[in-house]
Chain A
Amino acid sequence: MKKLTAFILSALLAVTALTGCGGQSSSSEASKDNSSSQSATGDWSYIADKGDLVIGITYFEPMNYKDENGELTGFETEFAQSVCEKLGVKATFQKIDWDSKEVELNAKTIDCIWNGLTITDERQENMGISTPYMENKQVMVTKAENADKFTTAEAVKGATVVAEKKSAGEDVAKGDEFFKEANYVSVDSQAKALLEVKSGTADIAIIDYVMSIGTIAEGTDYADLKVVEGKDFAKEQYGIAVRKGDTETLQKINDAIQAVADDGKLDEIAKKYNLQDLLLVKAK
């Protein structure tokens, strides 16, 4: 009988806890409703009112990653912090699932995407994209012993090529004449593409050059992989994405980027991460 009473009591407790949660969230709903009615005047005032720019990121070296002390660092992290300083708002980093970045942006759970986002026509149609600030390209990564082999279309014939689905690498693998005779397999992330090559289930991974800098360096599990020299594909540019139609925030971010470049700060940050050759925004 005691057990039963305990069971029923815990059930009651759970129900009150549930309704308690409900009450809380509905009150926060009311307070947030005010801010959303203000946001009708413009997205920037919504961000300025909050006092912080919520930046959607994923972790990857050298853009955004945790250092030995568990602190977030990286080129994009420091760059975003400098830009936010100019904007007079706090930079808040929110880790997201990259596949859901557009939903996150539209749901206002983040205010911008700033994580080595490749500028594409499709993205320019659906989001507001800043001035391109960095160049990137697609490179072939393969086992070190094969790095000299896969330099011609002939050698690539019949090889298994992997890339992240919906990525620039996939466009190269599917569209470039060079890979016409190769077998293409899509995987769900660039890291997975490297894992395929490492484990031997694929011969070549096509990934971002920027990602290859941090990921296949000495001392990592991928140290036995190598970028195939002299074969670059699909030069592309990185931009920051904000909500579609929000020209005010976009303009402010663009101005702030230029200001950070004029200070020489952008160069400084890029040098720290060995990315200075890829920078597109120069001091005026």
Chain B
Amino acid sequence: MNEFINVTQQLFKGFGENCFIFAITLLLALPLGLIVSMGSMSKFKPLKWLTKAFVWVIRGTPLMLQLFVVFYIPPLVSNGGFNFPRMQAALIAFVINYAAYFSEIYRGGIESIPKGQYEAGQVLGMKKSQIFFKVVLMQVVKRITAPIGNEIITLVKDTSLASVIAIPEILMNAKDFSMEGLIWPLFYSAVFFLAFCGILTLLFSFIEKKLDYYKG
């Protein structure tokens, strides 16, 4: 019983790191993704291609590799002169990676709004920005709730990847127990992820219900 409490404590401590990465990544990547999606829909061609190339690189390489690049490349290039703290490096990689994925979801959502909506706005004499924020955006939010929810749930589990740059997250702690001869903590750690994703799933179905009155 004592052992169970000790393991639970250690895993909770590790899961705190996962939750921290999760929260900061969402907080920064959701707005950053919107900015990136604006870039990829821009009429200014160089910006558009630059953004597209950025999204291609980020989505085209493993997140694990991106973590290595952010953490190890600066000190290797500067001969140990500069490196991000481990957690900061992880956050940078996660935020950039998720912003790229979010941006494509936003783009899909925004482009799915029928032209008529914009035309109606114009007829009413609204400015371009007014049309986007007052007419289009909330319809987009409703349409993208499900795919964003998908990404967010993936993010919960992806946070475990931070262990490759030695952030003591839950799976790393659980693996340490197996080095001490305890196997079950590794499988027990699944409970933490399941519980967290369960809460998120409920939250998203609640949000979807709440958004039901915006009839797209």
Chain A interfacial positions (CB closer than 8 Å to B): 1, 3-4, 7-8, 10-11, 14-15, 17-18, 21, 25, 28-29, 32-33, 35-36, 39, 46, 58-61, 65-66, 68, 70, 94-97, 100, 103-104, 106-109, 189-192, 194-195, 198, 211, 214-217, 219-223
Contact = CB atoms under 8 A, between A and B. Distances in A.
B181 interface: yes
B137 A4 contact: yes
B153 interface: no
Contact of B181 (A3, A94, A215): A215
A28 B85 CA distance: 11
B184 interface: yes
Contacts of B10: 70
B120 interface: no
Interface in B167-188: 168, 175-176, 178-184
B80 A107 contact: yes
Interface string B69-87: 0011001101111111000
B156 interface: no
B192 to A, nearest CB: 19
Contacts of B28: 14, 17-18
Contacts of A7: 31
A36 B31 contact: no
Interface residues on B, range: 35 or more
Contacts of B81: 29, 32-33, 35-36
A139 B64 CA distance: 33
Interface string B129-173: 000011001100000000000000000000000011110100000
Contact of A215 (B83, B165, B175, B180): B180
Nearest to A218: B181
Contacts of B163: 97
A231 B30 CA distance: 58
A191 to B, nearest CB: 4
Contacts of B164: 97, 100
Contacts of B72: 100, 103-104, 107, 109
A198 B163 CA distance: 25
7 contacts: A10-B31, A14-B31, A17-B28, A100-B165, A107-B80, A109-B80, A189-B175
A32 B176 CA distance: 33
Contact of A36 (B34, B71, B79): B79
From A60, A95, A107, A220, residue with most partner B Cβ within 10 Å: A107
Nearest to B75: A107
B175 A191 contact: yes
B27 A14 contact: yes
B179 A215 contact: yes
A39 B80 contact: yes
Contacts of A17: 28
B110 to A, nearest CB: 14
A207 B12 CA distance: 30
Given A36-B78, A36-B79, A95 B180 contact: no
Contacts of B68: 100, 103
Contacts of B27: 10, 14
Contacts of B82: 25, 28-29, 32-33, 36
A220 B3 CA distance: 11
Nearest to A222: B181
B32 A14 contact: yes
Contacts of A222: 181, 183
B205 interface: no
Contacts of B30: 14
A21 B85 CA distance: 12
A129 B161 CA distance: 31
A10 to B, nearest CB: 6
Nearest to A191: B178
B168 A106 contact: no
A97 B175 contact: no
A46 B175 CA distance: 34
Contacts of A194: 178
B88 interface: yes
B80 A108 contact: yes
Contact of A214 (B31, B75, B83, B180): B180
A225 to B, nearest CB: 9
B181 A216 contact: yes
A61 B179 contact: yes
Contacts of B176: 59, 65-66
